[in-house]
Chains A and B, each alone.
Chain A
Amino acid sequence: DIMLTQTPLSSPVTLGQPASISCRSSQSLVHSDGNTYLSWLHQRPGQPPRLLIYDVSKRFSGVPDRFSGSGAGTDFTLKISRVEAEDVGVYYCMQATQFPPYTFGQGTKLEIK
């Protein structure tokens, strides 16, 4: 199974400042069809996860443009250009290139300083 490792596990950020989360895969996430099936999810406290980014860098409907995804191969990054209070919670990366199983990173907790 593909393992996803996120860093950092916790990230205290000042409101209005940028934040960055890394997701590293144990194997390349490039599928034989040429696509890379890496997505990012956000889970606020007490809420279900919600999709932010899919296919590495495509923003899901309704997601603010302060969120962006990048990367290739085994290294991926989620960036928030200016953190807002509603961005607190846990962020997960997920791969669907080599399935089953779908696998998730262990999560990165974003909190406000």
Chain B
Amino acid sequence: EVQLVESGGGLVQPGGSLRLSCAASGFAFRSYAMSWVRQAPGKGLEWVSVISGGGDSAYYADSVQGRFTTSRDNSKNTLYLQMSFLRVDDTAVYYCAKVPAFGFWTTDRFFDYWGQGSLVTVSS
């Protein structure tokens, strides 16, 4: 059974930093690209970033480019999202999601499994 468990969320002041983790199990983690998607309170879904199975390629939404960094440790089956220079409008539940392919430029372009999410609140 595929399981994705996010952790690391919490309250942080504007301008601060936070690192989210997503622990994966039930599949060959290193063989699949992974993504982060966020959802502000009461709002819709917003894609944040995606990283290839090998971790050597990543893309970001314009809203987080230069402030957020996605990485992965395939030896630990864990995905990370390092968030810096946080703003109030970064407040959201952050979900990790699995892509059913190693890379992005494939014919498998969707998110097949999602974690439960981790709440990040940016407030003074």
Which residues from chain A sit less than 8 Å from chain B, CB to CB? 33, 35, 37, 39, 41, 48-51, 54-55, 60, 90, 92, 94, 96-97, 99-107
Contact = CB atoms under 8 A, between A and B. Distances in A.
B45 A49 contact: yes
A112 to B, nearest CB: 20
A39 B37 CA distance: 15
B95 A48 contact: yes
B89 interface: no
Q: What DSSP secondary structure best describes chain A's contact surface? A: loop
A95 to B, nearest CB: 9
Contacts of A107: 44-45
B95 to A, nearest CB: 6
Nearest to A50: B114
Interface of B: 35, 37, 44-47, 50, 59-62, 95, 104, 107, 109-117
A33 B108 CA distance: 12
A96 B50 CA distance: 12
A60 B112 CA distance: 8
B47 A37 contact: no
Contact of B61 (A94, A100, A105): A100
A92 B47 CA distance: 13
